[in-house]
């Protein structure tokens, strides 16, 4: 009951902000206008998980929940659906997709569960006739590439050994090098290289999006150490001096 009260309180607050005498900014928002913030909040949840920061995770999950309630409020104002519809819809879907828990069809492994999940989804979405149908176009590129490859692999269109994937990565890198002086073609080849690297990450059971984010975070940590520990401003130093600072940063901050 306490949880129901908390959700109701948040719902009422959002409705009040959207009321005629509510907040001018909140009243101006649409589903489209707050899309960037929803994406940003979702990535901040991932950051909190990566940092194992429970306080931050609680706060960022709250921000994502705010967006869910806000979008539901917008929809309810035009008679499309309500927050209760959203909650009941996902609850019904979970029960329907877990007959091994809520029904008699018992399964013994995660692989069996995933196979059953896919079969149920196919029945729920008969309009998705192609193997690659249903992949969100707005996914970050590496996540989208991983999902494309995962679906293609289900019909056997996949590498059999990691050495073959590595060979493909090297092939794509060579093609980038060959087209360095042709920007349009080089851009296409770099895209192919990203796709091949995503395949390698998937083959090794590494999340490519998180791997890229971790690399970004690592660079930021090292570069900030350079800024804070350099005896003089970074701008104006030679590449040799900067490299020396970078190597020190690698040893100290990892």
* pLDDT score at 3: 65
Q: Under CATH, what is the fold of the domain 141-206?
A: Helix Hairpins (1.10.287)
Give the Cα separation of 44 and 63 in Å (integer). Answer: 9
Token pair in block for residue 23? 């907040």
Under DSSP, is residue 131 helix (H, G, I), strand (E, B) or coil?
A: coil
Residue 1 clears pLDDT 60, i.e. is over it = no
C-alpha 249/C-alpha 254 separation (Å) is: 7
Q: Give tens-digit pLDDT for 117-149.
A: 888 988 888 888 898 998 998 888 999 999 999
* Confidence (pLDDT) at 128: 83
The answer to whether 2-81 and 141-206 have equal CATH topology is: yes
Q: Which long-range contacts (CB under 8 A, 24 or more apart) does 140-144 make?
A: 140/209, 141/194, 142/194, 142/198, 142/208, 142/209, 142/212, 143/208, 143/209
Q: In terms of Cα–Cα distance, which of 93, 3, 99 is closest to 85?
A: 93
Mean pLDDT value across the chain? 94
User: What is the chain's Cα-based Rg?
Assistant: 24
Q: Are 60 and 41 in contact (CB under 8 A)?
A: yes
The band of 2, judged by pLDDT with boundaries at 50, 70 and 90, is low
Q: Using one digit for the tens of pLDDT, what is the confidence trace for 73-90?
A: 999 999 999 999 999 999
Give the integer Cα–Cα distance in Å for 102 and 98.
Answer: 6
pLDDT at 252 over 60: yes
Query: What are the distances in angstroms from CA 71 to CA 18, 28, 81, 219?
Result: 11, 13, 10, 36
Domain assignments of the chain as residue spans, ordered by start: 2-81, 141-206, 211-253
User: Model-level pTM greater than 0.85?
Assistant: no
Closest CA to 67 of 110, 106, 26: 26
Q: Buried b / exposed e across 117-131, counting CB within 10 Å, b at 16+? A: eeeeeeeeeeeeeee
pLDDT tier, 213 (very low <50, low <70, confident <90, very high otherwise): confident
193-211 pLDDT, tens digit per residue, is 999 999 999 999 999 988 9
DSSP 207: -
More confident residue, 111 or 173: 173
Q: What pLDDT is attached to residue 169? A: 97
Tell me how far apart the alpha carbons of residues 80 and 102 are, in angstroms, rounded to a whole number: 30
Confidence of residue 244 (pLDDT cuts 50, 70, 90): very high
What's the average model confidence in pLDDT over 232-238?
A: 96
Q: Which CATH class is domain 2-81?
A: mainly alpha
**Residue pointed to by tokens 């929803």:** 38
């Amino acid at each position: 009951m306490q949880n129901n009260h908390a959700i109701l309180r948040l719902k009422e607050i959002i409705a009040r902000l959207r009321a005629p005498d509510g907040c001018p900014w909140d009243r101006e928002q649409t589903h489209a206008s707050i899309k960037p913030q929803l994406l940003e909040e979702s990535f901040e949840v991932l950051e909190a998980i990566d940092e194992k920061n429970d306080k931050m995770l609680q706060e960022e999950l709250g921000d994502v929940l705010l967006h869910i309630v806000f979008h539901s409020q917008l929809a309810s104002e035009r008679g499309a659906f309500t927050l209760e519809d959203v909650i009941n819809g996902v609850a019904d879907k979970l029960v329907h997709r877990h007959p091994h828990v809520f029904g008699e069809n018992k399964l013994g492994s995660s692989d069996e569960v995933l196979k059953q999940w896919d079969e149920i989804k196919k029945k729920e979405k008969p309009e998705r006739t192609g193997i690659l149908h249903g992949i969100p176009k707005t996914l970050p590129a590496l996540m989208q590439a991983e999902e494309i490859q995962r679906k293609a692999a289900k019909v056997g269109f996949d590498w059999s050994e990691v050495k073959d994937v590595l060979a493909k990565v090297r092939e794509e890198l060579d093609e980038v090098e060959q087209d360095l002086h042709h920007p349009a073609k080089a851009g296409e080849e770099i895209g192919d290289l990203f796709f091949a690297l995503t395949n390698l990450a998937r083959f090794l059971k590494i999340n490519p999006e998180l791997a890229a984010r971790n690399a970004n975070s690592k660079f930021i940590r090292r570069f900030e150490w350079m800024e804070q520990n350099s005896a003089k401003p970074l701008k104006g130093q030679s590449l040799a001096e900067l490299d020396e600072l970078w190597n020190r940063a690698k040893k100290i901050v990892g």
